[in-house]
């Protein structure tokens, strides 16, 4: 077993917080992200920072880290409070990716209780809408968010998979999304007064935070139902739904997760990329890892780099029809380059690091068939001037 402390940085004696990086030397971790871990470790009240193998630099705080502290810092969770990944079983009669891709609903358009009163997706809502927040309900958002139809590929632990009711060849919907404008509003309200400082009233923040976590989970269920109906299937209960951006309170300690999934005995889907497999794992991370595991492959390049280098390296067509034969529904060219599989680390290495450090055990892999990002260029699309210029050139 490789030691999680092999990369423990030397800390000034005045800083009691420890930093553990759960990655092998073979895994590339940007030094900026490690610097951010040290900056977090130096915050008042910080106890322990556990960095996952998908660690990469974020805005202020690193992404792919679980941070335990006696003080609650909203910026360590970020604006997308409640973001997570849910996996739903889905049964379809015919699986023709091209046909299915064309049937995905418009997940940029929110569900409106009045206008869409008859939408059957509302059936999955069994509670009040958290915070009464209707804006953006049922929408996927942007960035690394997606809704993916995938097929269970390799079953690594047949007993565990059977307990979940999963078998090789089964179809699933993977939904990665969060609390949209609600979480952003909650962080902004804090930041406008306190910046990156701690909350003065943890209970008040946590009440709003918990609403955003519930809203994010409900949003994933609503989207899964919208997609299931649109593809001619019935909605289903998720067998995995884990939030990787949140704060948990344990015995007076605030455990901030930022791109780090709960790893204490739960099953987690660790997302690959739009063009590579994802891994369903049984997570069993202990206190050294702040009870957390990775949440995905992790970015290897910044969005700006991915855009610049991707334009030289890829065509739009190869990003929309991937190496594994899956389709990517995405009418936003820039996003397509930013989210290119080559902009991410290899998911196999991330999983290997978790296994080597005894944080997780693979249960099954999934292979994408159709990944939805944002509505495709429709038949009514009229390219603007810039698009026309690109069309004549490479892109």
Partner DNA sequence: ATGTTC
- Going by the annotation, the residues of the binding site for GMP are 144-148, 244-245, 278, 295-298, 373
Among 51, 66, 68, 83, binds DNA (CB under 7 A): 83
User: CB neighbours (10 Å) of residue 387?
Assistant: 13
Does residue number 331 form part of the binding site for DNA (CB under 7 A)? no
144 binds DNA (CB under 7 A): yes
Token digits of residue 215? 């809203």
Q: Could you tell me which stretch among 156-164, 173-181, 227-235, 313-321 binds DNA (CB under 7 A)? A: 173-181
Q: Report in angstroms how near the CB of residue 281 gets to DNA at its nearest.
A: 20
Selected binder of DNA within 48, 180, 345, 346 (CB under 7 A): 180
Q: Is 321 in the site for DNA (CB under 7 A)?
A: no
142 lies in the binding site for DNA (CB under 7 A) = yes
Which residue stretch of 121-129, 180-188, 195-203, 312-320 sits at the interface with DNA (rule: CB under 7 A)?
180-188
Closest to DNA by CB, 237 or 387: 387
Q: Which of 32, 112, 135, 387 binds DNA (CB under 7 A)?
A: 135
Binding residues: 144-148, 176, 244-245, 278, 295-298, 373
- 253, 255, 245: which is closest to 285 by C-alpha? 255
By DSSP bridging, strand 360-374 and strand 278-284 are: antiparallel
Find the catalytic residue in 295, 314, 357, 358: 295
| Number of residues lying near DNA (CB under 7 A) | 18
Q: Which neighbouring-strand residues pair with 18?
A: 48
Q: Is residue 32 near DNA by the rule CB under 7 A?
A: no
Of 357, 127, 153, 332, whose CA–CA distance to 219 is shortest?
127
**Cα Dmax for the chain:** 64
- What is the closest distance, in whole angstroms, from the C-beta atom of residue 145 to DNA in the complex? 6
Asked if 292 interacts with DNA (CB under 7 A), we say no
Identify whether 291 is a catalytic site residue: no
Residue 341 to residue 309: CA distance in whole angstroms = 12
The answer to whether 22 touches 289, Cβ cutoff 8 Å, is yes
Least distance in Å: CB of 302 to DNA? 10
In angstroms, the CA 282 to CA 160 distance is 8
E-only strand ranges, 226-263: 240-243, 245-250, 253-258, 260-262
Contact call for residue 184 and DNA (CB under 7 A): yes
Q: Smallest Cα–Cα separation from 48: which of 23, 32, 70, 33?
A: 70
Interface with DNA, residue 181, by CB under 7 A? yes
Return the residue of 14, 31, 59, 195 that touches DNA, per CB under 7 A.
59
Burial class of residue 18, CB neighbours in 10 A (0-12, 13-18, 19+) = middle
Q: Is 130 in the site for DNA (CB under 7 A)?
A: no
Question: H-helix or E-strand containing 267?
Answer: strand 264-270
242 binds DNA (CB under 7 A): no
Residues 6+ apart with CB under 8 A from 98: 327
Give me the count of residues in the chain: 395
| Site residues, DNA (CB under 7 A) | 59, 78-80, 83, 135-136, 141-145, 177-178, 180-181, 183-184
Task: Kindly list the catalytic residues.
Answer: 295
């Amino acid at each position: 077993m490789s030691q999680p402390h092999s990369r423990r940085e030397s800390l000034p004696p005045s800083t009691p917080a420890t930093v553990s990086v759960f990655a092998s030397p073979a895994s590339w971790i940007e030094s900026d992200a490690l610097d951010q871990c040290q900056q977090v470790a130096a915050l008042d009240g910080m106890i322990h920072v556990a960095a996952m193998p998908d660690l990469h630099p974020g805005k202020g705080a690193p992404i792919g880290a679980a941070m335990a502290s006696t003080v609650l810092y909203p910026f360590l969770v970020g604006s997308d409070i409640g973001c997570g990944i849910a996996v739903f079983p889905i049964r379809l009669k015919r699986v023709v990716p091209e046909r299915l891709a064309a049937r995905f609903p418009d997940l940029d358009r929110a569900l409106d209780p009045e206008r869409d009163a008859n939408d059957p997706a509302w059936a999955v809502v069994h509670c009040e809408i958290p915070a009464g927040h209707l804006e953006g309900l049922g929408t996927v958002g942007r960035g690394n968010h997606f809704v993916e139809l995938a097929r269970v590929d390799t079953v690594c632990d047949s007993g565990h998979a059977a307990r979940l009711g999963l078998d090789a060849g089964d179809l699933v919907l993977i939904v990665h999304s969060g609390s949209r404008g609600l979480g952003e509003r909650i962080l902004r309200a804090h930041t406008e007064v306190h910046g990156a400082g701690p909350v003065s009233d943890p209970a008040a923040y946590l009440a709003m935070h918990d609403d955003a976590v519930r809203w994010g989970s409900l949003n994933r269920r609503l989207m899964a139902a919208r997609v299931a109906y649109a593809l001619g299937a019935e909605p289903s209960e998720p067998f995995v739904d884990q939030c990787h951006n949140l704060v948990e309170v344990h015995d007076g300690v605030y455990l901030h997760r930022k791109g780090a999934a709960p790893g204490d005995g739960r099953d987690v889907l660790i997302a690959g990329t739009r063009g590579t497999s994802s891994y369903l794992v049984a997570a069993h991370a202990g206190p050294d890892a702040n009870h957390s595991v990775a949440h995905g492959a992790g970015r290897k390049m910044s969005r700006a780099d991915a855009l610049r280098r991707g334009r030289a390296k890829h065509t739009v067509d190869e990003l929309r029809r991937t190496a594994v034969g899956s389709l990517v529904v995405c009418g936003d060219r820039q996003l397509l380059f930013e989210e290119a599989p080559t902009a991410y680390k290899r998911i196999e290495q991330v999983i290997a690091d978790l296994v080597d450090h005894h944080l997780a055990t693979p249960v099954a892999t999934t292979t994408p068939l159709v990944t939805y990002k944002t509505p495709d260029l429709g038949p009514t699309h009229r390219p603007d001037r810039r698009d026309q210029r690109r069309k004549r050139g490479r892109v």
